[in-house]
């Protein structure tokens, strides 16, 4: 199988590529990424010389480049997205351009290339929010009720993906996933920003509504779920990838501080962002019963291992925060990889 992974230099995409190369020895993977601030080729330095791996720099909104990249490709997995809610509030336009229009261009290229499967990565946030005491989980066929620009852009992209299935009979599948955690996550998301700030004895910023909860999944469990969907999922279907493990921001902060032996005084409470959703929770019954998927990484063990990974890899996250990896991008891209 020849696979194209968009957004493969990001957190989830890079972990997925590493997972795929490790578990599918006969497959080849092309990493297609435009290398925005969160796209980091350092995430894949350990596989950059693997003959089964190739990197192509390109934007999913550039039809010609992405179509050329798809020559001979069997499966497309679309991770490419603007994904940080805070940035979506500051600049909604780039979220619509990348997440909606970019997805449409990618679908058009995949349709023209006649790929055998297009898998789209979505999020639990398209369904809106749950109350903290609500006895309900989101199901795959629930109506979308997004409340932030990021959530709305992902919901819109989902509609475009399914339109290509219904109108053009494109062989698509889709997954909604809970909050991912693990190594190589850009230090703007909650676990890495809490951890890296604590390591530097800087305040860790908790939103005032610190009891708001999120559902958590290790990035490797997410990769296994996508693998099962690609191989055994039903065309035209969506699957919820959730663990039912919920933790509040307060609990995450306490876990980070206790793991690193840092004091509670590092907590700093800041105003909630605009439309700070209370809670998301996915019903994973479908993927468990149809595909036999179950999470393997327990949250307490996985989260502590993740926190310690940041402790043990200070050069990686310090360079992320400083922007120092841009020089590495330029050298790596210009001297070793080239374009399509």
Q: Which CATH architecture has domain 2-181+218-242+280-297+325-337?
A: 3-Layer(aba) Sandwich (3.40)
pLDDT at position 327 over 60: no
Judge whether 192 and 219 are in contact, CB under 8 Å: no
The neighbouring-strand residues paired with 13 are none
Question: What is the largest distance, in Å, between two alpha-carbon atoms of the chain?
Answer: 57
Instruction: Give me 256's structure tokens.
Output: 């980070």
Q: What is the pLDDT of residue 85?
A: 65
Sign of the dihedral defined by the CA atoms of residues 180, 184, 189, 191, in that order? positive
The 3-state DSSP class for residue 100 equals: helix
Domain spans, the chain? 2-181+218-242+280-297+325-337
- How large is the average pLDDT for residues 210-239? 97
pLDDT band at 321 (very low <50, low <70, confident <90, very high): confident
Q: What is the pLDDT of residue 336?
A: 37
pLDDT at position 328 over 90: no
Q: How many CA atoms lie within 13 A of 30 on its CB side?
A: 23
Q: What is the pLDDT of residue 72?
A: 97
The burial class, CB within 10 Å (0-12 / 13-18 / 19+), for 5 is buried
- Render pLDDT for 64-96 as a digit per residue (tens, 0 to 9): 999 999 999 999 999 998 866 677 678 888 888
Judge whether 276 and 151 are in contact, CB under 8 Å: no
pLDDT band at 49 (very low <50, low <70, confident <90, very high): very high
- Render pLDDT for 175-205 as a digit per residue (tens, 0 to 9): 999 999 999 999 888 999 999 999 999 999 9
Sign of the dihedral defined by the CA atoms of residues 186, 191, 196, 202, in that order? positive
pLDDT at position 331 over 60: no
- Render pLDDT for 264-311 as a digit per residue (tens, 0 to 9): 999 999 888 787 788 999 999 999 999 999 999 999 999 999 999 999
């Amino acid at each position: 199988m020849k696979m194209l992974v968009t957004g493969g230099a990001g957190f989830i995409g890079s972990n997925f590529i590493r997972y795929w190369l490790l578990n599918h020895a006969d497959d080849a993977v092309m990493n297609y990424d435009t290398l925005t601030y969160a796209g980091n080729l350092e995430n894949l330095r350990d596989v950059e010389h693997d003959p089964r791996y190739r990197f192509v720099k390109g934007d999913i909104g550039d039809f010609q480049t992405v179509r050329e990249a798809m020559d001979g490709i069997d499966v497309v997995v679309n991770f490419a997205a603007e994904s940080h809610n805070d940035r979506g509030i500051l600049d909604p336009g780039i979220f619509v351009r990348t997440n909606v229009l970019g997805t449409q261009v990618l679908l058009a290229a995949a349709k023209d290339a006649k790929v055998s499967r297009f898998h789209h990565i979505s999020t639990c946030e398209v369904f809106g929010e749950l109350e903290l005491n609500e006895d309900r989980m989101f199901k795959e066929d629930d109506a979308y009720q997004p409340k932030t620009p990021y959530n709305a852009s992902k919901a819109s992209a989902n509609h475009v993906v399914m339109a290509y299935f219904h109108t053009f009979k494109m062989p698509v599948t889709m997954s909604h996933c809970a909050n991912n955690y693990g190594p190589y996550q850009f230090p703007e998301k909650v676990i890495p920003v809490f951890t890296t700030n604590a390591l530097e004895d800087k305040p860790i910023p908790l939103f005032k509504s610190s009891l708001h909860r999120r559902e958590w999944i290790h990035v490797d469990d997410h990769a296994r779920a996508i693998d099962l969907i690609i191989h055994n999922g039903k065309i035209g279907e969506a699957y919820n990838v959730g663990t039912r493990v919920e933790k509040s921001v307060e609990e995450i902060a306490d876990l980070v501080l206790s793991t690193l032996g840092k004091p509670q005084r590092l907590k700093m409470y800041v105003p909630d962002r605009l439309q700070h959703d209370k809670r998301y929770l996915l019903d994973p019954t479908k993927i468990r019963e149809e595909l036999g998927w179950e999470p393997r990484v327990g949250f307490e063990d996985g989260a502590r291992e993740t926190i310690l990974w940041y402790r043990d890899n200070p050069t990686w996250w310090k360079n992320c925060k400083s922007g120092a990896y841009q020089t590495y991008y330029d050298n790596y891209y210009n001297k070793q990889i080239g374009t399509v």
